[in-house]
Structure 1
């Protein structure tokens, strides 16, 4: 069985394999999953919100990811950090949600747009609203690379791993996405 171990006090969460007969294997897994959930759920929900556009769907995406991690726990014993796996799973699940949403909208005769709540509108400064509106108008992959780079603060290597593309593609996509965002902000 695989459980989390945290080196030092940092964010690096690795995996350790416990043998099925070892004492505390079940409890250790529950403790590890609980720690993982408490430590990273909020940042993963924020990431998902920026990708899918609404909080309830983002929370569902993250919950589905943690459910999948719980089911695949035995497979995740390669000793690498779990956090990149979770980020990649959130990005992939968000893509699936957006694909399903596009298909559903194609067959919906009168698509209705969700209006921002009055609280959300008041709390965000006008500049932030403009940036978020322009970000929503970008292509999904462009939005993903900008969110991962500038909101999540990931390195090019981490973005490449999360999006399953090369580091060179991350650089060029980031450059093109920023240009598209500037263009949308000017119009």
Structure 2
């Protein structure tokens, strides 16, 4: 507990000078605030008694984080831009409505193909493996088949599903 108090006291005592140092290096007061906060989060986990010159250590951490952030901004090309401008051309992970409909239709065709399979055990094996998440060994025990037979049933059934999926494209 004493170590935490000592590191906190050191940080609080020198916070203003660390902010000034970070702002001078980065040229951005907001970035300096973020960096000094990150330094505290990292520094608070350190064992201060093992550090020979804690203030120099803090200043080095500030300098390294400024360099890292400035390099990242340069690489990303986001220096001096607001959030909306920086993210306007980034691709989002949203699927378009057309892609969503196409995926649902493809899934329906595949589910119908599985339901239409002649071999009941093949339908069951595919369902247990892909929809219930069972392992091949569990399916083999449940269906009273060999592991190789279960694997072949699923592999053959997936070949049919793959053909159905490709036909719909």
Please state which structure has a larger fraction of its residues in strand.
Answer: 1
TM-score of the aligned structures, taking structure 2 as reference length: 0.44
Say which structure, 1 or 2, has more relative contact order (CA 8 Å, 6+ apart). Answer: 1
TM-score, scaled relative to structure 1: 0.40
Structure holding more helix per residue: 2
Structure of larger gyration radius: 2
